């Protein structure tokens, strides 16, 4: 919904504002949006298992590598949303057409190959790898080469590297606290709901604390 609502206003600003002003706006929106995506990723990591156990039972719980791969896919996908809004606003869907086709082909090929090796984990990993290459390298390069033209692609990558480091630190802290205080167990419905609610509170509190400390220390807030 955020993605769709921003599209028209960003397109208008691209037509009326300078490229440098739009770059600063994109950097700020990217910071806010990716911080929320980081919190959501941490919540997914800590809530997947207790939710599936409550919903489908212990036998249907996902293996931890699959959970991590799903969370990675979500975060990588969301980290490119704001950038793509600006690419859509700048009319770059045509310039990115071969990148999108390449991603789809790579995804299919890797799905076939990695599925034979690692099953469900291989399928998710294939998507993670193909989306990662597209979202992190190829599409941003097109945007900065064809629209911004300010030589700040490395700054964009540095921002996202710091966002990733913050998210990983938050995820590690949240996982340790949740695993210690609110372990997943074969309990009743009420206990499972309390476990989910408690983990959500922990993830939110740790995310806010780590994000504030990290950005205050690094001074990287756009």
Structural domain of 159: 2-218
Tell me the per-residue pLDDT of 99-144, one tens digit each, with 9 for 90 and over.
Answer: 999 999 999 999 999 998 999 999 999 999 999 999 999 999 999 9
The separation between the first and the last C-alpha atoms of the chain, rounded to the nearest angstrom, is 24
| Number of domains into which the chain is organized | 1
Q: Answer yes or no: are the C-beta atoms of 36 and 82 closer than 8 Å.
A: no
Tell me the per-residue pLDDT of 39-76, one tens digit each, with 9 for 90 and over.
Answer: 999 999 999 999 998 888 888 888 899 999 999 999 99
CA distance 176 to 141: 37
What pTM value is reported for the model?
0.91
Cα 83 to chain centroid distance, Å, stands at: 13
């Amino acid at each position: 919904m955020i993605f769709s609502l921003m599209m028209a206003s960003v397109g208008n600003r691209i037509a009326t504002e300078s490229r440098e002003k739009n770059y600063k706006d994109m950097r700020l929106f990217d910071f806010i949006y990716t911080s929320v995506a980081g919190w959501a990723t941490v919540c997914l990591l800590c809530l997947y298992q207790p939710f599936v156990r409550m919903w489908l039972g212990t036998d249907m719980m996902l293996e931890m590598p699959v959970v991590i791969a799903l969370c990675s896919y979500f975060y990588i996908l969301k980290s490119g949303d704001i950038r793509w809004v600006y690419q859509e606003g700048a009319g770059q869907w045509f310039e990115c057409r071969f990148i999108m086709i390449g991603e789809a082909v790579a995804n299919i090929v890797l799905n076939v190959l990695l599925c034979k090796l690692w099953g469900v984990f291989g399928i998710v990993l294939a998507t993670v790898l193909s989306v990662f290459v597209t979202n992190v390298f190829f599409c941003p390069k097109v945007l900065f080469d064809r629209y911004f033209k300010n030589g700040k692609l490395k700054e964009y990558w540095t921002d996202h590297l710091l966002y990733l480091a913050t998210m990983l630190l938050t995820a590690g802290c949240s996982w340790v606290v949740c695993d210690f205080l609110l372990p997943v167990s074969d309990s009743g419905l009420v206990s499972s709901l309390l476990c989910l609610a408690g983990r959500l509170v922990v993830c939110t509190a740790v995310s806010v604390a780590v994000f504030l400390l990290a950005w205050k220390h690094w001074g990287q807030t756009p």
